[in-house]
Structure 1
């Protein structure tokens, strides 16, 4: 009996990898589900110009939105937007509310612990903006000043590291609140993308908002849930082809006003 039991255990151990492989082969993937239902759900942040905004009719627009629309069109499926604040870009994906997030999410090792990045589809710079009356030329000038930062952004990951002790960082959950704090004088300056800062400055010429200090430049990319390798591979292929044919460069230039820099592949 002991010999039979040992033989049975050995057979089960040998068969287990094949069983798991077969299960993976026949299990429905996120990409399978998207193609079967002919719909892809994309999480976007419409409070982050020029990547995500609402147009005059209240409809999503911006470079991220345009990328998502082109992606869905090329996949041949209906597009459903899931609007989230910057703090909800990853939680909405992990909770299953969206299949992919396209919301200018900068590539960081911390985020890569929770999600899988696709290839980058754009780049951005984080800059300190403030009115001309506020003197900021170097990181040392941040001491004693109130600097507004939006949570769950690249600003959160970079500015506190370069800001010297004595900098008063004021946190906000959405970029809209950060912008309003700057315009109302609640903070002395804010950290945001160069594109968002330019939009705010151009829209409020009476405030005299200008670039004070560049913090960092980084790439951003769509993200998918851990294990969604098939969807990630499709998106990577799409990004590669649309980088080659100039589509991504055209969309980036349309919304940011600058040329798309060379994009890395990892």
Structure 2
């Protein structure tokens, strides 16, 4: 299966270079990756288990594994570039990375500035991490209370507008978590996947915390390419790759590898991809 997929991608790249050079000439990213032999992928380093630093300082996680798969299929070396929620789109727009796999949820504003790839590769929703004795039983209990958030995350505005929370935004998730632990805010609003993985980590410092509220606003996550590349050869290659991740079960396999709960979204997407 993997061999046939490698042949498919190799054929696509060859076809892009052929055809009088027309399609390939429209993809500056493919040209750069081919000439340099390096694919630069922006990933998180503070979002366990999707992207984080292991004890040796190496960037690991589900999304670095996905990036490695793309680089391997393309026959180039992978360079992982650490990004945060606040700068990941800017890095892609500035050409500092060729591809973004960095827990980015999709909204109309982001569609206007980066090339959102479909099918989507994951999904998560808005959740809240608090101490068990915080007295937070419903979202409305956040009215007027300081809540830690991550700069650039869409969860912040939603929770502030709907429930009156006073968002204290930090550059990264690590800073937000530390602020929660030291009592600078009553809770940490973030994606349910991240908060769930924190609680499942077994780390004793989180033993007194919980996610007591229902998950809201389920959002789809997308790989992104530069906006101008979305409908060109490079965007088409990434679309085919993500489709194959679903069809082959790679995403579900990595989900299990990294200790994530089984996702209904991935089950549905695999069924859909196999039927195509």
Instruction: Give the superposition deviation at 1:24.
Output: 7.7
Instruction: Give the superposition deviation at 1:75.
Output: 1.5
Aligned length in residues: 242
Instruction: Give the superposition deviation at 1:117.
Output: 0.4
Is there any run of 5+ residues in structure 2 with no aligned partner, and where?
Answer: 1-20
- Give the counterpart of 2:253 among 250, 254, 257: 250
Q: Deviations over 1:24-75 (max 9, x none)?
A: 8745521232123221110111111121100111100111111111111112
- Give the counterpart of 1:200 among 179, 198, 201: 198
What are the residue-to-residue correspondences of 1:75-114 with 2, within 5 Å? 75-114=74-113
Q: Deviations over 1:213-263 (max 9, x none)?
A: 223221101111111122111010011112111112111222242223234
Where does residue 259 of structure 1 map in the other structure? 262
Where does residue 134 of structure 1 map in the other structure? 134
Instruction: Give the superposition deviation at 1:146.
Output: 1.3
Q: Deviations over 1:183-218 (max 9, x none)?
A: 111111110122322343332356510002223221
What is the TM-score of this pair, normalised by structure 2?
0.81
**CA–CA separation in structure 1 for the residues paired with 2:25 and 2:191:** 43
Where does residue 223 of structure 1 map in the other structure? 224
**CA–CA separation in structure 1 for the residues paired with 2:256 and 2:145:** 34
Question: Could you tell me whether the CA contact under 8 Å between 1:158 and 1:215 is conserved in 2?
Answer: no
What SS class does the counterpart of residue 104 from structure 1 fall into? coil
**CA–CA separation in structure 2 for the residues paired with 1:255 and 1:67:** 12
Question: Could you tell me whether the CA contact under 8 Å between 1:118 and 1:232 is conserved in 2?
Answer: yes
Structure of larger gyration radius: 1
Where does residue 63 of structure 1 map in the other structure? 62
Where does residue 6 of structure 1 map in the other structure? none
Q: CA RMSD in A?
A: 2.1
What SS class does the counterpart of residue 251 from structure 2 fall into? helix
What are the residue-to-residue correspondences of 1:1-266 with 2, within 5 Å? 26=25, 29-119=28-118, 120-164=120-164, 167-201=165-199, 202-205=202-205, 207-213=207-213, 214-228=215-229, 229-260=232-263, 261=265, 262-263=268-269
What SS class does the counterpart of residue 197 from structure 1 fall into? helix
Is there any run of 5+ residues in structure 1 with no aligned partner, and where?
Answer: 1-21
**CA–CA separation in structure 1 for the residues paired with 2:56 and 2:24:** 45
CA distance change for structure 1 residues 161 and 230 in 2, over 3 Å: closer, same or farther? farther
Question: Could you tell me whether the CA contact under 8 Å between 2:24 and 2:233 is conserved in 1?
Answer: no
Question: Could you tell me whether the CA contact under 8 Å between 2:179 and 2:185 is conserved in 1?
Answer: yes
Instruction: Give the superposition deviation at 1:78.
Output: 0.6
What is the TM-score of this pair, normalised by structure 1?
0.84
What SS class does the counterpart of residue 137 from structure 1 fall into? coil
CA distance change for structure 1 residues 151 and 23 in 2, over 3 Å: closer, same or farther? same
Question: Could you tell me whether the CA contact under 8 Å between 2:151 and 2:170 is conserved in 1?
Answer: yes
Q: Deviations over 1:147-206 (max 9, x none)?
A: 111111232353223223xx2221111111100011111111110122322343332356
Question: Could you tell me whether the CA contact under 8 Å between 1:100 and 1:225 is conserved in 2?
Answer: yes
